[in-house]
Amino acid sequence: MEATATMQWTPCQLRDTVRGHVLLVGMPAAGKSALGQALALQLGLPFVDLDTAIGADAGQPVAVLLRQEGEQAFRIREAAV
């Protein structure tokens, strides 16, 4: 995947994109996945781990993608998912 595009989101664009969803953002290994699963269970909503979805789509773990393609390419994949 070519990483030439620059991702810039305005708050309004992001709000429109995630409307109706709970979005957890934080540092790596902060517990977002565990909290997200528990929250989804409590709210009766489906849970999607974005890193898992990106890895499944790419056919390799996110750590490998980051090493091979770099963070910018990963963020483009992330935005697409």
Instruction: Report residue 8's pLDDT band, with 50, 70 and 90 as the boundaries.
Output: low
Express each pLDDT in 14-24 by its tens digit: 666 666 778 88
Tokens in use for 23? 């979005």
Alpha carbons 19 and 21: distance in angstroms, whole number = 5
pLDDT in tens, 44-76: 888 989 899 999 999 999 999 999 999 999 888
Return the SS3 of 14. Answer: helix
Contacts of 67 (CB under 8 A, 6+ apart): none
pTM given for the model: 0.66
Q: How far is CA 12 from the centre of its chain?
A: 18
d(CA 39, CA 18) in angstroms, rounded, equals: 16
Instruction: Supply the pLDDT for residue 3.
Output: 47
